[in-house]
Amino acid sequence: MPPADNKRPIIIIKKKSGHGGHHGGAWKVAYADFVTAMMALFIVLWLMNSSKQIQVAVGGYFKDPTGTSKKVGSNQMGSGENFTLTKDNMPKLKEELQKVIRQISNFDQLKNQIEMTITSEGLRIELLESSSGTFFQSGSASLNKDGTEVIVALAQELGKLPNKVTIEGHTDATPYTINPQYGNWELSTDRANTARRLLQENGLREDQVSQVRGYADQKLRIVANPVDPSNRRISMIIQYLIKHDDEEEKVEMPGAAKPQAGTPTEAPAAAAPQPQTAPEEHK
């Protein structure tokens, strides 16, 4: 019998069987790739059905994340549908505003008193008075119900634009004789300011109005008939913005005199009363 010290120790090796190989994390990576691909697909489908403005804005962002938002889209108002008014999209704005005006309650009676014209300055919207007064109280700068409804509807749409707005007041050539200290200059300016206040109370931004001008009877709509009621009107001009090298530049008003040193840029708000050469007639 061999000595005890020659016995080899018995080593027992236990192998643990497991299923870890079947439950690894590789599937998570594949699933994440699948979700990412689906998200990209949905974004592409959304862009294909979006407006041209949104497509340009999104494409421009990936090219220049810091400098493109000011060109297209809406870093000012938060809506991708907002657009800068240029000569290219002027007809589109006119059409949209016409749709808004058609929704006012008294449109059938007012449709001939509201004109929208594309001019060299921009889109000109004019509210024309009739012999009995359409938008303002007769001989007053106070808006009536119809005038208030139209201006509020316009304000909500114009406030979405980055463009500047000029507001003008006009009268006919009949002298205003109710008050010798108050004439056509004061009336035209006060009516323009009344429209401005209501516009700004209902959507137009404080910095969006560039000028408020009162012209009295100096810019007649119907020159051949200076006392025609439609010469009494309020004009709102949405001015063009032209882009040059990533900057927007406003078109200068045609025919506007360049201000001299120390000269105000706005038309005078009032002038001396005109001589009473005709019978009294309400505006």
Q: What percentage of the chain carries pLDDT values higher than 70?
A: 70
- Per-range mean pLDDT, top range of 43-47, 50-54, 77-81, 248-252: 43-47
What is residue 242's predicted lDDT score, i.e. its pLDDT?
65
pTM: 0.58
> Helix, strand, or coil here: 269?
coil
Which CATH code of 3.30.300.160, 3.50.50.60, 2.60.40.10, 3.30.1330.60 fits the domain covering 84-250?
3.30.1330.60
Give every CB contact of residue 188 below 8 A, 6+ residues apart in sequence.
168, 169, 170, 171, 214, 215, 216
Q: What is the pLDDT of residues 160-178, one digit of tens each?
A: 999 999 999 999 999 888 8
Domain boundaries, the chain: 24-82, 84-250
C-alpha torsion sign, points 265, 270, 274, 280: positive
What is residue 23's predicted lDDT score, i.e. its pLDDT?
58
Structure tokens at 271: 């002038």
Where does 64-159 have alpha helices with state H? 90-102, 107-110, 145-158
Rounded to 5 degrees, φ, ψ at 115 are -125, 140
Which amino acid is present at 35?
A: V
DSSP string, 122-147: EEEEEEE--TT-SSB-TTSS-B-HHH
pLDDT at position 77 over 70: no
Alpha-carbon span 39 to 16, nearest angstrom: 43
Residues 267 and 215: beta-carbon distance below 8 Å:
yes
Q: What is the pLDDT of residues 10-29, one digit of tens each?
A: 777 776 655 555 556 788 88
Residues 162 and 113: beta-carbon distance below 8 Å:
no
How does DSSP classify residue 182? B
37-48 burial, b for 16+ CB within 10 Å, e for fewer? Answer: eeeeeeeeeeee
C-alpha torsion sign, points 193, 196, 198, 200: negative
Q: Give me the residues paired with residue 170 across strands.
A: 233
Residues 68 and 57: beta-carbon distance below 8 Å:
yes
